[in-house]
Chains A and B, each alone.
Chain A
Amino acid sequence: MTLVSTTTRPRRRVPEALRSPLTVVGVVVAAGWLLVVVLGPLLQPADPLAQSPDRLAPLSAAHWFGTDSLGRDVLSRVIAGARISIPLSLLLVALSASVGSLLGAVAGLLGGVVDEVVMRLADLVLAFPTIILAMVVAAALGPSLTNAVIAMLVVTWPQYARVTRSLVLGARDREFVVAGRLLGIGWFTSLRRDVVPNVAGPVFALTTLDFGNAILLLSGLSFLGLGTVPPTPEWGLMVSDGVQNFTAWWVAAFPGLAICSIVLAFNFIGDALRDALDPRMQKAVGSRAL
């Protein structure tokens, strides 16, 4: 009975976690935004770059989210902004997870000097507050979308490296990995075939949680004038424009709500995935269940 219980429980955990109301909300909101990304041009009521004399117009039938300082339709810009912020953040997380995980896995598997170099480099980056270091890098490179992504990549890879390294350290001494090495397979094959599948779950959960941070970081850099260049309709830049006119609350409020909703959605999803995929969380959940 115990054997049956332990072999079936993990299969149920992902659905259980996803049945949480917050997770459902997260999935629905995230799916909604992904739909906006795909269908964006069809949903925009106006050209997001088109200026008009109708400046700072409040919410109306013609402009559901009002207009900004240059008479641009805020709804159209929020929709267009989704097509910039969300794909870019996904790209950043993918890059960051790939680079960080690879370095962490190599460091964990090889150990020695390689481990020391990679981890001290990671420590060096982690010693600075993320946003401050990202600002320094972005300011040095100059404001642009590409440079913002580079700046964010510089500051985000270490957390993946650390997590992956710790997982690899745990996995590399397991019997099937040792057996594989004794049978003569190379370290890269061992990494790819035996180690990666065993550490991928927690790293994937981390990427989901990190997506929200990426959105915030990208928006933060643009808000500070170090990210997207105007007139690109990026959410952080739109909030920055809006806060200068606090009487026209809608200019900053709607892109702000967009950031808030997508970040919360992915945090909810990330929490659920972490509960489901992280072995430590599984153990904790399993203990409670038993």
Chain B
Amino acid sequence: MRRRHFLLASAGAASAATLVACSSDDGGSGEAPAAGAALVVDNAFDLKTADPARSFELTGALLNRQTYETALTFQGSDVSTPVPQIASFTISDDARVVTLKIEGEHKFADGSLVDADDIVFSYQRLQGIKGNPSFLLDGVEVRKVDAATVELVSADANPALPSILPNPSLGILNSELVKANGGTTDDSDGAETFLNGQSAGSAAYQIDTLDVTSQVTLKLNPAFVGTKPTYSRIVLENVPPATQKINVQSGTAQIATDLNAEEASGLAGGRTAVISQASAYMIFGWFNTDPRFGGPVSDPLFVQAVRHALDYAQLGELAGAGSVQPGGVVPSQFVGTLAQDPSNTYDVAAAKDLLGRSSYDGQEIQFLFSNDVAVSGVQLQILAQAIQSQLKAVGITIALAPKPSATSLDSFRSGEFQAGLAYWGPDFPDPSNYLAFTPGQNVGLRAGWTPQSAGAGEVVTLVDAAKAASGPEARGAAYEALQRQMNVSGPFVPIVQPAQNVVTAAGLEGVELNPIWTMDLAAVR
């Protein structure tokens, strides 16, 4: 989980999601503002900068989505298929070359047209600054072909690239304007201050005022060539969740983005509406496969017993309405997701049988988790206690080992802890991001899983097949096969994708949650 604190938004996405929007009788006064008025959005800020090439936070993605267009985008909440925004794209058969061709006219606020130079500058600047999102274009050479065409050439096959390009960090800037204000394509770039004062994009809105700790106001981009937004002004306020609820109930805000399932449940109906969808976060259990550290949990039979001992439905209830059980490590919104898998089903008899055949003999298992972390409102501490209780029912004794996240992550990363509960948010919406969970890779090693581990050989073969697969269907099938095998011999037990909840004033339309940028405010009406 590289740069976990900057990971993609916990916003929900589409396919397996539930959408609940109803009217309430709670007597609240929240209602949609008149067209042309300001739309007030309450968000718990993690904003550091409005410079897209430096921003990789949730609030930053929400903000930059409104002020910068990207070469490619996703339609609504569907992140499985990138579609054109500024440009259309083709990808070579070997998945090494992505060619972007600018489609139609796109204008910056000063009236100038977006061209290939702007795309090349924006991408090279992102790479050269070496900021948090720079890794998105690691190993990619950006070339201008002509005034409307750009080639992105990767050293190795990079089928995920089209799914990376919609990230708001890859927003297209007005290169002339940014260069005139200190912008460069190396680490001497000095345009951040300028970009925190005004935006230089071609999207529907531009920054009016910005205070990264309290409030951002957006005004219309007068040169925007797309459909004119309903609201001429956006006010993005930094508000803690408890106050968000009060604000949206009272009508002070029209959208609240950070309420958990319990808080949001009371707001479904009447003058407020609730949209609940599965987030892209995946909470999973892990068990160390290295016998030196894992002891009895390194036995694959033990992990298989755990897979059947967990009551996923009950754990899903704890995570709130809209949460889903992922079949594998790839979330439900992405290509290659596994809808369900017989290996991960609640079956107490099977769990006891597997446990009886394993080397487990009643030992106490140390179970690590961060006790100060809530993933989309779901406290890992609560989930860990429920898991402890469920495993006890089949005869597995778990000793909870809570630690603050500052130290628990170090323990997990050391690869020397016995077992635990963790979560993962994707860096980009593509299944290749989840190869980190395979033997010898980043997350795999945290559970002591190497290519030499028992049963890892078959997984390694399937990893190679997934990397070589080309096209959505072939890639999807390859990643599904990989996850099925991981569910048999792997140390990770996918437990739940918690829900993300957004509460809006009743009558607001066009609010579609997206796991990368939360929502497109220009589409709200």
Which residues in A have some Cβ–Cβ distance to B below 8 Å? 51, 53, 55-56, 69-70, 139, 142-143, 225-226, 229-231, 241, 244-248
Contact = CB atoms under 8 A, between A and B. Distances in A.
A230 B385 contact: yes
Interface stretch (B56-64, B400-408, B472-480): B400-408
B263 interface: yes
B35 interface: no
8 contacts: A51-B385, A51-B386, A55-B318, A70-B382, A70-B389, A230-B402, A231-B389, A231-B400
Interface stretch (B67-75, B331-339, B371-379): B371-379
A15 to B, nearest CB: 48
Interface of A is mostly: loop
Contacts of A53: 314, 317
The 6 closest A-B pairs by CB, nearest first: A225-B371, A231-B385, A69-B382, A51-B389, A230-B385, A245-B262
Interface residues of B, number: 26
Contact of A55 (B260, B317, B379, B401): B317
Contacts of B381: 225, 230, 241
A241 B407 contact: no
Contacts of A69: 318, 379, 382
Contacts of B386: 51, 70
Contact of B262 (A139, A226, A241, A248): A248
Contact of A143 (B266, B371, B384): B371
A139 B384 CA distance: 20
Nearest to B404: A225
Interface string B247-289: 0000000000000101100100000000000000000000000
A229 B402 CA distance: 7
Nearest to B411: A142
Contacts of A247: 262-263, 266
Contacts of B377: 244
B242 interface: yes
A198 to B, nearest CB: 46
Between A53, A244, A245, A246, the greatest number of chain B beta carbons within 10 A of the residue's beta carbon is seen for: A244
Given A55-B317, A69-B382, A246-B242, A142 B388 contact: no
Contacts of A241: 379, 381-382
Contacts of A246: 242, 263
Contact of A229 (B260, B379, B400): B400
Contacts, number: 59
Contact of A230 (B263, B318, B400, B404): B400
Contacts of A248: 262
Interface string B355-385: 0000000000000000110100101011011
Contacts of B402: 143, 225, 229-230
Contacts of A226: 404
Interface string B294-332: 000000000000000000001001100000000000000
Contacts of A56: 262
B384 A230 contact: yes
A89 to B, nearest CB: 22
A230 B386 CA distance: 11
A245 B242 CA distance: 9
Contacts of B317: 53, 55
A16 B130 CA distance: 74
A203 B263 CA distance: 48
Given A69-B318, A231-B388, A139 B404 contact: yes
Contacts of A139: 404, 407
A157 B401 CA distance: 29
A51 B386 CA distance: 8
B230 to A, nearest CB: 31
Nearest to A142: B403
A191 to B, nearest CB: 43
A66 to B, nearest CB: 13
A169 B319 CA distance: 61
Given A143-B371, A225-B381, A225-B402, 4 more contacts: A56-B262, A70-B385, A230-B400, A241-B379
B403 A143 contact: yes
A225 B373 CA distance: 11
Nearest to B263: A247
Contacts of B263: 245-247
B174 to A, nearest CB: 44
B246 to A, nearest CB: 10
A27 to B, nearest CB: 37
